Amino acid sequence: MLTSNVRQLPTQSFVSVSQAYKLEPNESLMSFSGKQHDIGHYIGYSKLCPTHRTYALNLIALSEPGPYEEASANQHGVKAMRKEIEALEENNTRTISSLPYGKHAIDHK
């Protein structure tokens, strides 16, 4: 007798693309119904050709850092900040100057 191990795909997905990228291949999620779904059975990179897989994983690996502390903690953030400052200087859109006496820099969020 022939049996099938084919799984039914869910009719609705409660996993956003950004959530899917943050998950490890064997990690599970709880849907709104409370039923657990193993995301590794539905989403994966194994079917992509090596070129597309490399491209997709590179897109995921690099993200824009938030605050200065986060950006300055890794080499990509420091490089991005340097390039941004260089672009501002080359385009003459910003100049670095001293604050007038008695004035102080504004705080950041």
Q: Is 109 within a domain?
A: no
d(CA 26, CA 2): 28
- Furthest-apart CA pair in the chain: how many Å? 89
Closest by CA position to 37, among listed 47, 27, 51: 27
The reply to whether the predicted model has a pTM over 0.85 is no
Q: Are residues 43 and 69 in the same domain?
A: no
Q: Which residues contact 19 (CB under 8 A, 6 or more apart)?
A: 29
The residue length of the chain stands at: 109
* Domains in the chain, number: 2
Question: Range of 28's domain?
Answer: 14-48
Token pair, residue 5, equals 């191990």
Q: What are the tens digits of pLDDT across the range 64-108?
A: 667 888 888 888 888 988 998 899 889 988 777 888 999 988 876
Q: Is 2 within a domain?
A: no
SS3 at position 45: coil
